[in-house]
Chain A
């Protein structure tokens, strides 16, 4: 079965650079979520989109922005990168019509900021 695809899987950037993370949800899923997991931490919700509109916003820095496109894939744009942005970034997708909100997670993008 198709799963959530994230690219790239690994990314190394310098401080103050920008990064773009991509997420391709499971076909027919209409909701995408982004989570950030720092070293030794639990995943923290950043932002979500339903039908290309932002549906919820968590602890996402102003330096970050995201959007969902017409084909339902999503991109997380990160600017002015800081050392503390080094983390695993997960994308998850779900279908709003499902009875329960089971979110399917991608393998994550590991971002290292030097």
Chain B
């Protein structure tokens, strides 16, 4: 990826544990979005956090954004086997612009 980097690249945990994925970026943003992708399938939008927000929650998801460090994290609490997927962050510089994706984290949740 030209901009976003995610770590870890792969994460394996047990059901019930929490999973944290991190994303760093290089340019200024209007918002940052997280997507989920099951193996070789479509991208599902999870959550969008605006540049003036620091934290956002949606169900078992918690996203943080630190614009001074140009980084974001996605926390999935009480993980389930069905959460197994690749997770991508994507930065958006402004309305109507292209999204720039990070390299993704492959999450495996073992039952």
Residues of A with Cβ closer than 8 Å to B?
31, 33, 35, 41-45, 48, 50, 55-56, 58, 88, 90, 92, 94, 96, 98, 100-108, 110
In chain B, what residue has the closest Cβ to A48?
A: B98
Distance A98 CA – B95 CA, assembled complex (angstroms): 8
Q: Is the interface of A mostly helix, strand, loop or mixed?
A: strand
Given contacts A42-B1, A56-B97, contact A100 B31 (CB under 8 A): yes
Contacts of B96 in A (CB 8 A): 31, 48, 50, 55, 94, 96, 101
- Interface of B with A (CB < 8 Å)? 1, 4, 30-31, 33, 35, 40-45, 48, 50, 88, 92, 94-104
Q: A102-B45, A105-B42 are in contact. Are A42 and B4 (CB under 8 A)?
A: yes
B98 touches A106 (CB 8 A): no
Contact B42 A107 (CB under 8 A): yes
The residues of A that contact B94 with a CB separation of less than 8 Å are: 101
